[in-house]
Amino acid sequence: MNAPVNTYALLASFWEDLKSGSGGPTMIVLMIVAALAIVLIAAVLILFCRRSKIVLDEGDGRKRTIRTGRYKAVKLPQLSKEGYTFGGWYKDAALTEKAEDIVQASSKNLVFYAKWIKEGAEKVTAPAEDAVLTAAEEVQPPEEPAPAEESLSEENAEVREERAEEDVSDAGAPSEETPAEETPAEDAHTPPTKAEESAAEEAPTEELSEEEAAEAPAEGSPAEETEEETEEEDENETSEGDEIDNALVTLVSGTKVFVQYRRSFRARLIQSDEDMKEYYNRLRSELLSYAGVKERVSWNYDSFNVGRKQFAKVNANRRSLILYLALPPAEVDEKYAFRDVSEKKRYAAVPVRYKVTGSRSFKYACELIEQAAAKFGLDYKRFEETLEIPYEEREALIKQKLIKVYAKRETGETVTEEELEKYIEEGATVESLSAYTVTDRVSVNEAEILISDATAKQLVALAEEASAPRAQGARAKRSYVNLDTVSANFREGDRVDLAALQAKGLVEKKATAYKVLARGSLDKSLIIEANDFSLPAVKMIALTGGKVIKIKKD
């Protein structure tokens, strides 16, 4: 019982000696050491009390967040999914570096990616790098709301798919109090079965002339369903890998001008990282080393053809190259972590998509090229050429017509490049908005992070407008449709409008106007014509290379 009293007395005596100076230098040193020790202990306690975050990317836009104390051991969960075998957790989106079952939380946030192996098939799907599942495999009935997605960042911990439920235009129709999760006519609709979808998507067969039959590839060859390279490419088309910059120009008069810059393949390559330029030169040389392969650079791609058949396509952006090859996806080993994009019309002839980001993936890309060449029966003779690709600023690329500029005043009038240049010379201010890269699958949460609301509003301002026939007699009635429902019921490149939705039973027959809402994931590039869009929906459509078309107000 006397110990606390004696300790207190000792400390009091120590303090008095220190104040009087009788303790000498030793006392002062001891006091400083004690203070530092207290600070150190407090810092260690604070460090260990802070929470770490582990993000588990399960694929298909689903992410799970584990919050735990720093430096604690965490056992990663085992997952299951009908029709797929769980292949473990990986440290990278390309699924090349496997993670241990038990990991230690650290001061940095950790991200792990799930590997899924389709049962009975040679197909791997990975989040971010590889599209997770095709829509036909993973479509959920629209009457069941999409599972809530956990945040990708702490600031967006509770991002809602309709958090900014702002009307881009009210279309003159009376507003109905329908929450984002409700889709009046969708609930009664049952999505088509896989068999029905396959039947609906099967192209009609045509008889070939003798000449065409002579040119047709043998059955089972990768070019069996290739398109001939005779059609002109649509330079206004956006596709995966395209980088879009946005800016807001305010004139001296106060007028706002919305501006969008679209880079060509050549511009993207010129402004890519130096190591990507080196990999491009090596990849190009490898492709041209096979006899009969010819190169054609277009606005969107660098294409490599054998005669009139597509052999490969290459796209580029700042930190990666995307290679598309004429290989049967079912015959490609899962170790390559490729994506099957055969459902997309523009890649039907080159359905194996592989992303090159470094030396390992470049080595695999060369192996895949060799496999494609074997299918075509091509001989190899080493070709080597290094193109000089110096970096150039945007203004120089615009003058060379390698970047297209789209500009509109806030009132809707188009502004030419010359007019825009003149406004800037006169003192107009330029404010950069979100720049984004087109992908072919995006979730609501990802779209919210990648594109700001200000940019989404600008995308609406730049959108094309269309007129719709006015309903006769009946009172105007507004309906709603969610993007994941649209994605499940339409094909890549389809035009979606009120009539098409009504024909599929996705909105009420009596509806005269409708609004597009964001939900779940979108994995198709679609042209959507509607009276109104939520801002998150606009972001998702833009990120997948689709087009928003506004119906004019009466």
Are 353 and 322 contacting, i.e. CB atoms less than 8 angstroms apart? yes
- Residue 496: the pLDDT is 94
CA distance 316 to 514: 37
- DSSP letters, 480-510, are EEEHHHHHHHS-TT-EE-HHHHHHTTSS-TT
**Once rounded to an integer, what is the mean pLDDT over residues 60-68?**
73
Specify the amino acid at residue 174.
P
**Once rounded to an integer, what is the mean pLDDT over residues 353-370?**
94
**Is the pLDDT at 144 greater than 80, yes or no?**
no
Beta strands in 326-482 (DSSP E): 339-340, 352-356, 403-409, 429-432, 436-437, 442-443, 464-466, 478-482
**Is the pLDDT at 119 greater than 80, yes or no?**
no
- Residue 173: the pLDDT is 36
**Is the pLDDT at 235 greater than 80, yes or no?**
no
In 246-393, which residue ranges form alpha helices assigned H by DSSP? 265-270, 274-288, 359-376
**Once rounded to an integer, what is the mean pLDDT over residues 192-202?**
38
Which residues face 56 on adjacent strands? 64, 112
Dihedrals phi, psi of 295, to nearest 5 degrees: -105, 145
Highest mean pLDDT among 96-105, 232-241, 253-262, 282-291: 282-291
**Once rounded to an integer, what is the mean pLDDT over residues 470-488?**
80
- Residue 49: the pLDDT is 64
Go through 381-397 and write b for each residue having 16 or more CB atoms within 10 A of its CB, e for each that does not. Answer: eeeeeeeebeeeeeeeb
> Is the overall model pTM greater than 0.75, yes or no?
no
Which residues have CB under 8 Å from 512's CB, separation 6+? 173, 471, 474, 476, 477, 478, 498
- Residue 454: the pLDDT is 86
Which of residues 211 and 263 earns the better pLDDT score?
A: 263
Q: How far is CA 552 from CA 395, 454, 526, 529, in A?
A: 34, 22, 20, 10
**Is the pLDDT at 391 greater than 70, yes or no?**
yes
Which of residues 164 and 312 earns the better pLDDT score?
A: 312
Give 484's pLDDT tier (boundaries 50, 70, 90): very high
Are 479 and 508 contacting, i.e. CB atoms less than 8 angstroms apart? yes
- Residue 170: the pLDDT is 39
Which of residues 475 and 336 earns the better pLDDT score?
A: 336
Of 10-19, 223-232, 360-369, 417-426, the one with minimum mean pLDDT is: 223-232
